[in-house]
Structure 1
């Protein structure tokens, strides 16, 4: 595998728009821990080595534990994630794998109950953003050399 085009170089205006969404999310009401688990879990599903590496390091730097990161791929079989985190992880999986079943009514209603419409909207936008980044990184082989 060899590195491919750099979207940032070939289409900088488009790339900056995705960065603007990322900047919005960084300054939203989303809890940092929530944002990290969204980014890591979606990146695991999408097999994006570049993003897994980046977001795992960022999570560790902000105080996330190794144990919780190690267990992210089996989050529904452990008790280390809160009810809120489990709802976010269910949303992350269902939206990332949207062609399978989409965001289920059960997961959506639980998230609304726990977070309200504004926070659920921010969660959805965070999932959309990381899936965009994953697709850029995977399709351009950004993970080469990690």
Structure 2
């Protein structure tokens, strides 16, 4: 496999902007494990193999179990996620697929039960960041290990 282009060298300013978005989103106070679960779920929806591989590895390194990692894709049917994680995953799906139905009030109310307003903004920013990374990676043809070649 070959990437279509290396976005990092094709437009360093664009890459730096993405890094700044990621840095800001990652420092807004979300639990690091929850942050990674959000990244994995959005990457699954967007079909981004590069990001999915990266964030599954990162989540393993945080001590996540193989069972939970394999069940993120079907989190609604898997009793291994907390209510707070479920709310975050539901919001991740709604924001990632925002053109389908927006973010229904019922979902927003559920998220409010588990997160402060500041944390909700942090979740939205986390979803925005990974969706941006996914779109960049998929469009430029990134794949697991592409930078190791």
TM-score interval, smaller chain: over 0.9
1:140 aligns with 2:107: no
The Cα of 1:24 is off from its aligned counterpart by: 1.5
Q: For residues 53 and 112 of structure 1, do their structure 2 counterparts lie closer, same or farther at Cα, with a shift above 3 Å needed? A: same
2:4 maps to which residue? 4
Q: In structure 1, what is the Cα distance between the partners aligned to 2:130 and 2:75?
A: 19
Q: In structure 2, what is the Cα distance between the partners aligned to 1:3 and 1:24?
A: 27
More off after superposition, 20-29 vs 50-59: 20-29
Instruction: List alignment gaps of at least 5 residues for structure 1.
Output: none
In the superposition, the TM-score normalised over structure 2's length comes to: 0.93
Instruction: List alignment gaps of at least 5 residues for structure 2.
Output: none
The Cα of 1:145 is off from its aligned counterpart by: 5.7
1:98 aligns with 2:98: yes
When the two chains are superposed, the root-mean-square deviation of aligned CA atoms in Å is: 1.4
1:112 aligns with 2:105: no
- Aligned residue for 2:100, secondary structure, equals coil
Q: Any runs of at least 4 consecutive aligned residues in structure 1 with deviations exceeding 6 A, and if so which?
A: none
8 Å contact from structure 1 (residues 2, 144) kept in 2:
no
Q: In structure 2, what is the Cα distance between the partners aligned to 1:28 and 1:132?
A: 17
2:17 maps to which residue? 17
Q: For residues 145 and 15 of structure 1, do their structure 2 counterparts lie closer, same or farther at Cα, with a shift above 3 Å needed? A: closer
8 Å contact from structure 2 (residues 53, 144) kept in 1:
no
1:56 aligns with 2:56: yes
The Cα of 1:26 is off from its aligned counterpart by: 2.5
